[in-house]
Amino acid sequence: MKLTINGKQIEVEGPKTLLEAARENDISIPSLCDHPRLSPFSGCRLCLVKIKGRKGYMPSCSTYAEEGMEVQTQSPQLKKLRKQIMEFILSEHPNACLICREKENCDEYKSTLRKVGEVTGCVLCPNNGRCELQDVVEELNIKRVSFPSQYRELEVKKRDPFFDQNYNLCILCGRCVRVCHEVRGNSVLTFSYRGTKTVVGTVLDLPHTETGCQFCGACVDVCPTGALTERELKYEGLPQRMEPAICGLCSMGCELQINLREGRLLNSLPSDQGVVNQGQACVKGRFTLKDILYSQERLLRPMIRRNKHLEEVDWDEALDYVAEGLGQYKGEKVALFSSTQLGCEDGYISQKFAQEALKTGNIGTPAVFFPVQSLKRLAQNHGFELDLNFRMDQISEAKTVFLVGTDVPLTHPIIWLELLKALQKGARFIYLSPNEFEINRHADQWIQNKPGTESYVLNFLSRLILQGSSTSQDISEREGFHTFKNSLENFPLEKAPSITGVSEKQLKEAAEILGGKSPKAILFGGAFSQVRWRNQNLSALWNLSLLTQAGLYPLDLDSNSRGMEVIHGRSFDLGQSFNRIVQNLSSGKIKALYQMGPVPLPQKIKTNFRVFQDSFLNAQREQADALLPASTFLEREGIFVNAEGRVQKTSPVLPPMGDSRPDWWILSQLAQRMGVSGFKYKKTSQVRKELGENIPELNSASSSRLKEKEVFLKEEKKGPKKFLPVQLKETPAKPTREYPYLMMVEGSQDYYRNFHLSEKIKGFRMIRDVHWLYISPQDAEKLELKENQPVKVESTKGKMSRKVKISTSVLSGTVKTSFNWDEPSDSLINFDSSLFPAIQVVPVRIKRGE
């Protein structure tokens, strides 16, 4: 369509507001409440324009362009009106510096004045230089404020982690309220009171830690003033350099903007250009990178054990020492544990090092228990086709969504944003979980089952769907359909409540939704595949996806789970399984261990020679003969594969700290000292080229234009899709009289290598503590337990210490907790080397601790 702005004819495509049309054509209109990712608000009124043929002035942020429209954005009347509006806003905002005649002479050193408790001007404000209010004052050329100033005298709140709340600086633009509701789906913030007393805050003025806030930082990022300010930046200057990076803290692969000053990391922001995250982040990527990078636990120098003590040495001495120690053990006497947070180059060299230098098939990684690897093994065993790659927008376009095995806003927050988009478009949503989370309120059906009965619920749903509608020829002719259908006769609906705790009515309603509109999406996480009975879980979910013709999306956990799976997949098939390695370590068959990531191993394990290669010191370091410092993902080049199967390249934003080196470099140097050929790599690109030549799924990874185009893992098709017979070999654990509570124990996902966020970062510990024991209010009252009270949890196989966390998220009669990946497994409640690190569901009793 064509319209005229300030006498200039312009063309716009699609529905656009006048403000958007003007900005696309380099026509400036001031605004403070508008934001490109938020719906129009028309709150600040600074964007008013005159439209020919209409009375008064119209807010351009909420007025859509029309064919033939004539718009005036600049006139003496508009200029005067905008100035008056801006002066009204400034009358309740500290404005001394904004209109000061000497403001251009203020020097950067005056930022030290920010240490004062109250902000009365720009040089005292932590947002100085980052403030949109300053920009608009400059644009409108405001030299004085005609209205009397009024300081609101609101308390500056510092009770929550990561950011301060100074609503004396708030201009009520509503951005924070809207981004929390529209984009993040949390609705933590709202407007309270009315008129001149209106303030932004939480319900009942509760701390953010008590409102379901995920501390994603989106409210801080959209705030145009210093009302919401990242605490770490309070005394820092403006960044001198900004570098892009791919976050390595989960499987989303978000693109971040790393802000640097004087060679140090200031903070990280979500990149607006991020294909995956589209300007959003989570608490880990947004607020923890500085703590991780500059942790006192960083391993910065090689160390070897001399006279029973670890001593710092140079690389040559350390590499010679380790090469000599490892040279004494080959084949079945040595094992290597890798990490799913390594880059693909590091993972490839770790596999090559194990096979060619150590001559061993004992290669382990936690990826074998993650959703993708678990589903892939099921497919390989039954010979059916599997499509693992997907795009985020496939979820947002779904009309029906089924979720099981994860609290997705917590574990995969960017996936949650896509799911939220689908819900905002009217999609139906079913959530299967024994626990209540914030996401439950968004569900059309929350199926609250007894822990461990997920496969039963899925099979009941499949039976109801078959009973309630005619089956298409495409489905009924698939291999295994009739066997599958007949096996569902073992699931009479009247038994559902006693087995699963779910009523017949709710199952019928859920089945009706699943039989409804397409496209459909079924998502599952680690809590669904990391249990002992994962095969029957996955078989039931696979059958349900075929029956409903839904896309099946396994949500992997670590930053390179999928990359490591394709690299090490052949090694897993040829070598020992993760659990068998642990058993052989316990029995003493394995004498030497090379460890590149956190692994929960029994404290009693004794090895003749043990090497830790990591970025951080860990709880098991006293058992190490050598510690080799690896650089972090921010200090190295590499490629990672996210949960979608998207291949992403990241570059170093800082040089390696201390003497730390990339993992591939350390292993290559060791291999050369052990006399093994084929390891003379000088740079990452050489490793990446060889990786692409030897791993078919990653043969596009060596492309020099990887950052400029979309690259996904190449997938092989392995036969037609078919139904699987229902086989329920495992039954869920049940509480007993002596052990009346059912407890779930799972590995924490809040870690990077051997750095555990809740242990090392105080702010993170306030929102998620790995040592919390979640217990229902009813059970806490029954046991006379209080918040944070120490308790002992006992089972038939062991005991553990925890702190009480009273929560409505767990059913009465059940409790849950987690563990760190480097925590000695024999300090956990139910260690079993044939099962670990699968999630444990075990009957327990709870006693008060000391």
CB 555 within 8 A of CB 406: yes
Checking DSSP bridges between strand 58-59 and strand 48-51, what pairing results, if any?
A: antiparallel
Checking DSSP bridges between strand 303-306 and strand 309-312, what pairing results, if any?
A: antiparallel
State whether CATH 3.40.228.10 applies to domain 371-554. Answer: yes
The class of domain 741-848 in CATH terms is: mainly beta
Looking at the DSSP assignment, which residues form a beta bridge with residue 229? 164
Q: What percent of the chain has a predicted confidence (pLDDT) above 90?
A: 71
Domain spanning 239-293, CATH architecture: 2-Layer Sandwich (3.30)
Instruction: State mean pLDDT over 43-57.
Output: 95
Instruction: State mean pLDDT over 95-103.
Output: 73
pLDDT tens per residue, range 435-490: 889 999 999 999 999 888 999 999 999 999 998 776 777 788 889 999 999 999 98
pLDDT tens per residue, range 120-157: 677 777 777 788 998 999 999 998 899 988 888 899 99
Q: Using the CB atoms, write b or e for 338-373: b if 16+ within 10 Å.
A: bbbbbbbbbbbbbbbbbbebbebbbbbbbbbbbbbb
Looking at the chain, which residues constitute the CATH 3.30.200.210 domain(s)?
A: 239-293
- pLDDT of residue 577 exceeding 90, the answer is no
Q: What angle do CA 572, 575, 577 make, to 5 degrees?
A: 65
Inter-CA distances, 732 with 56, 421, 532, 774, Å: 69, 35, 10, 20
Mean pLDDT is lowest, of 56-70, 541-555, 561-575, 765-779, for: 561-575
Instruction: State mean pLDDT over 216-225.
Output: 96
Instruction: State mean pLDDT over 524-538.
Output: 89
- Smallest CA-to-CA distance from 453 within 846, 116, 164, 742 is with 742
Checking DSSP bridges between strand 428-432 and strand 445-447, what pairing results, if any?
A: parallel
pLDDT tens per residue, range 744-761: 888 888 999 999 999 999
Instruction: State mean pLDDT over 771-781.
Output: 95
pLDDT tier at 827, thresholds 50, 70, 90:
low
CB within 8 A of 322, min separation 6: which ones? Answer: 304, 611, 626, 628, 670
Can you tell me the distance from the alpha carbon of 378 to that of 133, in angstroms, rounded to the nearest whole number? Answer: 57
Dihedral angle over CA of 84, 86, 91, 97, nearest 10:
-120
Give the chain's length. 850
Q: What's the predicted TM-score (pTM) here?
A: 0.93
- Asked whether the bond before 837 is cis by omega within 30 degrees of 0, the reply is yes
Name residue 9's amino acid: Q
- pLDDT of residue 111 exceeding 90, the answer is no
Can you tell me the distance from the alpha carbon of 375 to that of 542, in angstroms, rounded to the nearest whole number? Answer: 9
pLDDT tens per residue, range 267-291: 999 999 999 999 999 999 999 999 9
- pLDDT of residue 573 exceeding 50, the answer is no
Can you tell me the distance from the alpha carbon of 462 to that of 466, in angstroms, rounded to the nearest whole number? Answer: 6
Can you tell me the distance from the alpha carbon of 665 to that of 349, in angstroms, rounded to the nearest whole number? Answer: 9
- pLDDT for res 105: 65
Q: Identify the three-state secondary structure at position 592.
A: strand
pLDDT tier at 833, thresholds 50, 70, 90:
very low
CB 810 within 8 A of CB 799: no
Q: What percent of the chain has a predicted confidence (pLDDT) above 70?
A: 94
Q: Using the CB atoms, write b or e for 489-508: b if 16+ within 10 Å.
A: eebeeeebeebbbbeeebbb
- pLDDT for res 151: 85
Q: Residue 217 corresponds to which tokens in the numbers above?
A: 């930082």
State which fold the 303-365+561-708 domain adopts: Rossmann fold (3.40.50)
Q: Residue 159 corresponds to which tokens in the numbers above?
A: 């009770």
- pLDDT of residue 407 exceeding 80, the answer is yes
pLDDT tier at 739, thresholds 50, 70, 90:
very high
pLDDT tens per residue, range 322-352: 999 999 999 999 999 999 999 999 999 999 9
- pLDDT of residue 837 exceeding 80, the answer is no
CB 190 within 8 A of CB 200: yes
Looking at the DSSP assignment, which residues form a beta bridge with residue 648? 640
Looking at the chain, which residues constitute the CATH 2.40.40.20 domain(s)?
A: 741-848
Looking at the DSSP assignment, which residues form a beta bridge with residue 476? none
Instruction: State mean pLDDT over 809-826.
Output: 82
Looking at the chain, which residues constitute the CATH 3.40.50.740 domain(s)?
A: 303-365+561-708
- pLDDT of residue 32 exceeding 90, the answer is yes
pLDDT, greater one: 104 or 671: 671
- pLDDT for res 451: 87
Instruction: State mean pLDDT over 498-515.
Output: 95
CB 605 within 8 A of CB 588: no
pLDDT tens per residue, range 617-665: 987 788 899 999 999 999 999 999 999 999 999 999 999 999 999 999 9
- Asked whether the bond before 519 is cis by omega within 30 degrees of 0, the reply is yes
What does residue 346 show for φ and ψ, rounded to 5 degrees?
-65, -40
Count of beta carbons in the 10 Å neighbourhood of residue 109: 9
Instruction: State mean pLDDT over 245-267.
Output: 96
What does residue 846 show for φ and ψ, rounded to 5 degrees?
-120, 130
Checking DSSP bridges between strand 303-306 and strand 264-270, what pairing results, if any?
A: unpaired
